[in-house]
Amino acid sequence: MSRYPSEYVPPASPSPYLRAYLKFIESFNSWDVERILACYDDTLEHHIYPKQSLRQDVPFRNKEQYAEYMRKMNPALKFIKVTLHEVIEDGPKLAIQASSVGESANGTPYSNEYMSIVHFVPVTPSSDPDALPKICLAKEFVDSAFSIKFFTEEQAKLRQKKLEAEEVTSKA
């Protein structure tokens, strides 16, 4: 039996909000920071929970801060694959259960579980019918203790590799 519920199957005619979120997951699975950021509105507030375990110096990240965070995290993973398990939609708000697997740049297996609540900039009658709405609020519940440990260790390994490479270069 699988650790997780079955994979989510979207409806045949998903709403613009669900289509936008599916594009976001596709972007995340590409592990391309610019594609991920393109799914966010400029007014983004990105919250990670539980707060008490993250030692954050800000209550949330705006789009610019989130971009900086993602660019810092990006080199630590070779790839990531997010799988949706459940999506509950209420207009421009979605609640999502997901899991992910991946591999660090150092070859270390990665896996995590998520519950997210996202809000989109509402679609209006004057909105471009082909344009997908952007995420303006994200509340992400993760195994933050695992994430902190994993990324701290992986970034330390990457720094060590860089130092070793510089040492070899300077001796040559």
pLDDT band at 52 (very low <50, low <70, confident <90, very high): low
Q: Please tell me the total count of domains within the chain.
A: 1
Residue 5 domain flag: no
Sign, CA dihedral 98-87-36-41, equals negative
Q: Which helix (H) or strand (E) holds 34?
A: helix 33-37
pTM, two decimals, is: 0.85
Q: What is the largest CA-CA distance in the chain?
A: 65
Residue 128 has pLDDT above 60, yes or no: yes
Residue 77 domain flag: yes
Residue 160 domain flag: yes
Q: How many residues does the chain have?
A: 172
The CATH number linked to 67 is: 3.10.450.50
